[in-house]
Amino acid sequence: MNIVNILLILVVLVIGALLVMKIIQKRKNEQVEEAVEVDDKTYNLDKMTAFVKKRLDEITKINLYDIGLSEEELKRRKNKKYELKKALKGCTYGDVNDKKYVKELIYDILYKEYGVNELNVSKAIPFDVPSLLTAQDKFDIIIYMYKNEFGYEALNEVIKKYNLDQLKYVYGDAKPSYVITEEEISDIYEKENFALTFTDKLNVVVQRIYQHYKGYSAIDEIRDMNIDGVSGGVSGLPESFLSQVAQTDGDYLTQVLDNKVPRACDSIWIFFHGVSIRLAFLSFGTEAELKRVCQNIYKYNNPGQLSDTNGYKINEMKDGSRVVVVRPSMSETWAFFVRKFDVKRATLEQIVRFEGKEEAIELLKYLVKGARILALTGEQGCRKDHYANGYD
């Protein structure tokens, strides 16, 4: 009888040990429990974004003390977990290094875990069928390829090469304006005729996922460029107005929905060499996405909560850019202004470009050397701050 009891105890202990080992091994692997079910929508951006969010959430929330790691492995995993948490927080402040780290991790997750390869990457963005690419798809590819060569001067190079900063007439407008249209982006994409590798395609997909997850939506890459600034939500019709129109004028609402009348969430502007240029081909898509960007873009150094009672915030981003955010009911819609200060390039020779500028520059130099009082005046966007930096 004693022998039977001993055998039963041994069996129970063996089974318990096997179960514990199985649980530990399962947690060590840190793999997603559910296999990726492949169907027609598996490789679209929404599903891949959801998968990336879930995996990063798992990595940052896992309890490392419960999975039986060695001391060295535990220390390595803790450092990796801390670094990821820090990067996920820092990339929302405009830190390009943290952004690069998070994007590299997303790349690895999609390639190694989700199974993205040369055959299915074009299901997310139709790289192989140019006629199916949207204006944003083409712009993302253009910026990515130019960034590989020119770094953060990529947008400057595109604008200069194709003279996109010139006044032009747009169909339906009575006066010329500074605008970059969808047709211009399509022409540029066709002329460039890029030969994309699998790595290029996946990096473009990673950027699209990142900008809707932790980035600043359609302006994410634009904000990093060496330009004077970028703003969103500062023109177009607010959602509150559209809800009123829907009750009175259905035809006008139809025009709005057909993108014939721009909404506030379609409003994206850049400051380039002191000129405000509207990017008519880009959009945040919805007011909710514009609101998300506004709620995140000012958060560096915890300046306080943007609320209905405190409807604006003025702050700096991690790279020194000045950011102003407003929200209803102080303003008609959610909006933000980001101004960048490139002091290294703010020379008088680069700023003053009118005829006879040599004499004007010499006069300004002697006025500053003589410690004369100078007044800088002008309309918004005329580069007053750049002139001031040029005097230093």
pLDDT at 108: 95
Measured CA to CA in angstroms, residue 10 lies from 3, 5, 7, 14 at distances of 10, 9, 5, 6
pLDDT exceeds cutoff 60 at 11: yes
Structure-token match 């958060």, residue found: 299
Over 50: is that where the pLDDT of 34 sits?
Answer: no
| pLDDT at residue 308 in the model | 87
Q: Which helix (H) or strand (E) holds 90?
A: helix 71-90
pLDDT reading at 32 higher than 50: no
Q: What is the pLDDT of residue 238?
A: 81
SS3 (DSSP) at 217: helix
DSSP SS3 for 229: strand
End-to-end CA distance of the chain: 97
pLDDT tens-place string over residues 206-223:
999 999 999 999 999 999
Work out the mean pLDDT of the chain and round it to a whole number: 84
| Integer Cα distance of 275 and 12 in angstroms | 78
**Which domains, and CATH codes, for the chain?**
126-343 (3.30.450.90), 347-391 (no CATH)
pLDDT at 350: 67
Question: Above 80 in pLDDT, residue 261?
Answer: no
> What dihedral angle (degrees, nearest 10) is formed by the CA atoms of 193, 279, 98, 103?
-40
Beta-carbon contacts of residue 142 (< 8 Å; ≥ 6 apart)? 158, 185, 188, 189, 192, 194
For residue range 334-392, what is the model confidence (pLDDT) as tens digits?
Answer: 999 999 876 555 666 666 766 777 888 888 888 888 888 888 787 766 666 655 555 55
> In whole angstroms, what is the distance from residue 135 CA to residue 281 CA?
6
Angstrom distances, CA of residue 231 to CA of 52, 151, 166, 235, 317: 28, 22, 19, 10, 14
Task: Using a cut of 0.95, tell me whether the model's pTM lies above it.
Answer: no
pLDDT digits (tens, 9 = 90+) for 41-73: 789 999 999 999 999 998 888 887 777 778 888
Asked if residue 24 has pLDDT above 90, the reply is: no
* Contact in structure between 186 and 160 (CB atoms under 8 Å): no
